[in-house]
Amino acid sequence: MELADICSTADNLKAQIGERVIGQESSVDLLIIALLSQGHALIEGMPGTAKTMLAQCFAGGLALQFKRVQFTPDLMPGDVTGVNLFEFQSNEFRLIQGPIFTQILLADEINRTPPKTQAALLQAMQEREVTIDGATHALGDAFTVVATQNPIEQEGTYPLPEAQLDRFLVKILIDYPSRDAELRMAERHGHQAGIPDLQSMEPVADLAWIREAREAVSKLALSSEVRAYVVDIVRATREHRALSVGASPRSINMLCLAGRAMAATRGRDYVIPDDIKALINPVLAHRIVLAPGAELEGMTPARVLGQVVETVSAPR
Give pLDDT tens digits for 216-246.
999 999 999 999 999 999 999 999 999 999 9
177 and 47 share a domain?
yes
State the pLDDT at residue 87.
Answer: 84
Is 312 part of any domain? yes
State the pLDDT at residue 194.
Answer: 57
39 and 180 share a domain?
yes
Q: What is the pLDDT of residues 135-171, one digit of tens each?
A: 999 999 999 999 999 886 667 788 898 889 999 999 9
| Total domains in the fold of the chain | 2
Q: What is the pLDDT of residues 289-299, one digit of tens each?
A: 999 988 888 89
Alpha-carbon distances, residue 76 vs 72, 83, 114, 137 (angstroms): 9, 11, 9, 19
Q: What is the CATH number of the domain that holds 48?
A: 3.40.50.300
233 and 311 share a domain?
yes
Is 13 part of any domain? yes
184 and 224 share a domain?
no
C-alpha–C-alpha distance, residues 60 and 56, integer Å = 6
| Domain housing 236 | 220-316
C-alpha–C-alpha distance, residues 117 and 76, integer Å = 6
State the Cα torsion 118-106-158-85 to the nearest 10°: -40
pLDDT tops 80 at residue 215: yes
Is 264 part of any domain? yes
246 and 121 share a domain?
no
State the pLDDT at residue 195.
Answer: 63
180 and 60 share a domain?
yes
Q: What is the pLDDT of residues 89-138, one digit of tens each?
A: 888 888 899 999 999 999 999 999 999 999 999 999 999 999 999 899 99
State the pLDDT at residue 156.
Answer: 73
Q: What is the CATH number of the domain that holds 266?
A: 1.10.8.80
- Cβ–Cβ under 8 Å, residues 157 and 54: no
